[in-house]
Amino acid sequence: MRLTDFEVKKKGVITEIVDSPVAGKLMEFGILPGATFTVLNKASFNGPIFIQVGANRVMLRRDEASAIIVE
Amino acid sequence: MALVGNPNVGKTSLFNKLCGLNQKTGNYPGVTIDKKRGNFTHENIPFELLDLPGINSLYPNSKDEELVVNYLLNEQGDELPDLILVVVSALNIKRNLYLLDQLRDLDLPVVLAINMCDLAEKRGIKIDEKLLREEFGVEVVKVSARSDQGLKELKDLLLKAHSVNEREPGYIEADNRDLLHQFSKIIHCKNEYRSFLQLTQDLEINQKEEFSKLKKEFIESNKIEVRKWKINESILRYKLIGNIIKKSVVTDKSAADDFTTKADKLLLHPVFGYVFFLLILFSIFQSVFWLAAFPMDMIDAGFSALSGFVADALPSGYFSDLITQGLIPGIGGVVIFVPQIAILFLMFPYWKRADTCPYCLSD
């Protein structure tokens, strides 16, 4: 499942980061395969997704978030 | 000495505390390095401090990040700082240590200042700085720019001479180390991480044609997957940092519900978020009119007084009418909007500053 399809307030595990130009940047922010995360919020109108990975909170655009495969 | 750290960790607050200046925070692209110098003396030894824009890593994503990275990697060396003071936030130490870990591999003398320690303690985060010192091989001090905690210890620490020992590269897989070594030799670079950074990204400092050609040939002939190297770096570094954090940082989760979390819940709400956004825009709009009303009245009165005065002074006729009814009201009609425009433009920088999202990958 892609992160964009993940439900708000639920916890999940990142299984894979799709190879893409943002992949390196995501990983620098600690968004790595195996990390657990919580979706804090999803903005309406296809807006950004706000997630927490560890103590780190990151806001992602939809296209950035769609590179993250989760379960 | 240069201050380096992630955005939003309180570099400028610390800079102000050390130098006693009221230096404005600037996060606009293209701010030159020279503008943010400060001086202070401790035990009669003068220090010059450089406040740099925040960077997330040594892979720049924006103009100001590029500025910092080019500065830290410049080969001339005469401009290089004698010491890098890395500032991290105790609240988000795992991500912040990523940058420290990268800087550590450049073999530049580094001192680590863990800022916002008072806040972290309130939120139940305990950090063992002695362990961090051993693990990274750099001096570590806990500070709080807000409450002056640890500032004296920090200054005392800066007095000492610092040298950093080379360490095993933990950012590259063992199989690729030979390749990196070869590349370092080809480009005559002593520090392997510096050549790693030059190999994996295009930097302004090595725009020269020969260099690009050399690099391209090297990458192609050895079939190097640059992106994979970068991704592996992140994975390897986080693994290392994760292990260190496990030993040195204890978080008491029950204290984690704080003001920011609560504010975020409201401000980032799918509906209320937009309401707040519109409210802020509306209040800017309103205050422009409200603040500008007074100077606008003055300008209006001034121009009517001027045209009255000129009408009295000149003999009546076409020429007088041209000036009093044409020229002066015409100019007045334009000038009267200057206060509104000026106030709006004065507010923009604050808006822009508030706009730089602390959670985003890039702005």
Substitution target from A3, A8, A27, A58 for chain B, most B beta carbons within 10 A: A27
Contact B231 A42 (CB under 8 A): no
* Min Cα separation A49/chain B (Å): 10
pLDDT (average), residues A6-33: 84
Contact status of A51 with chain B (Cβ, < 8 Å): no
For chains A and B, count residue pairs whose Cβ atoms are closer than 8 Å. 72
* Min Cα separation B74/chain A (Å): 23
b/e per residue B190-200 (b: at least 16 CB within 10 A): eebbbbbbbbb
Spatial distance between the Cα atoms of B227 and B333, rounded to a whole number of angstroms: 59
Taking the model in full, what pTM does it have? 0.74
* Min Cα separation A13/chain B (Å): 16
pLDDT (average), residues B283-303: 88
Say whether domain A3-70 belongs to CATH 2.60.40.10: no
Q: Nearest to residue A24, comparing CAs of B229, B245, B130?
A: B229
As its CATH architecture, domain B2-165 has: 3-Layer(aba) Sandwich (3.40)
Contact B153, B125 (CB under 8 A): no
Does the structure show a pLDDT above 50 at B240?
yes
Which among A31-35, B118-122, B172-176, B292-296 has the top mean pLDDT?
B292-296
For β-strands A11-17 and A36-42, DSSP reports them as antiparallel
**Helix B338-355 × helix B272-313 angle, to 10°:** 160
* Min Cα separation B272/chain A (Å): 10
Spatial distance between the Cα atoms of B328 and B310, rounded to a whole number of angstroms: 9
Q: Please enumerate residues of B whose Cβ is less than 8 A from a Cβ of A.
A: 56-57, 59, 61, 91-95, 98, 227, 230-231, 234-235, 238, 251, 264, 268-271, 273-274, 357, 359-362
Out of A28-32, B24-28, B66-70, B329-333, least confident range: B24-28
- H-type alpha helices, B86-225: 93-104, 117-122, 129-136, 151-159, 177-186, 192-200, 209-221
* Min Cα separation B238/chain A (Å): 7
Chain A CB contacts of B120 below 8 Å: none
- Give pLDDT, residue B28: 47
Nearest CA in chain B to A64: B361
b/e per residue B319-355 (b: at least 16 CB within 10 A): ebeebbeeebeeebeeebeebbeebbeeeeeeeeeee
Q: What is the ipTM of this complex?
A: 0.76
- Domain extents in chain A: 3-70
pLDDT (average), residues B261-286: 81
Contact status of A9 with chain B (Cβ, < 8 Å): no
Nearest CA in chain A to B227: A24
Contact B361 A29 (CB under 8 A): yes
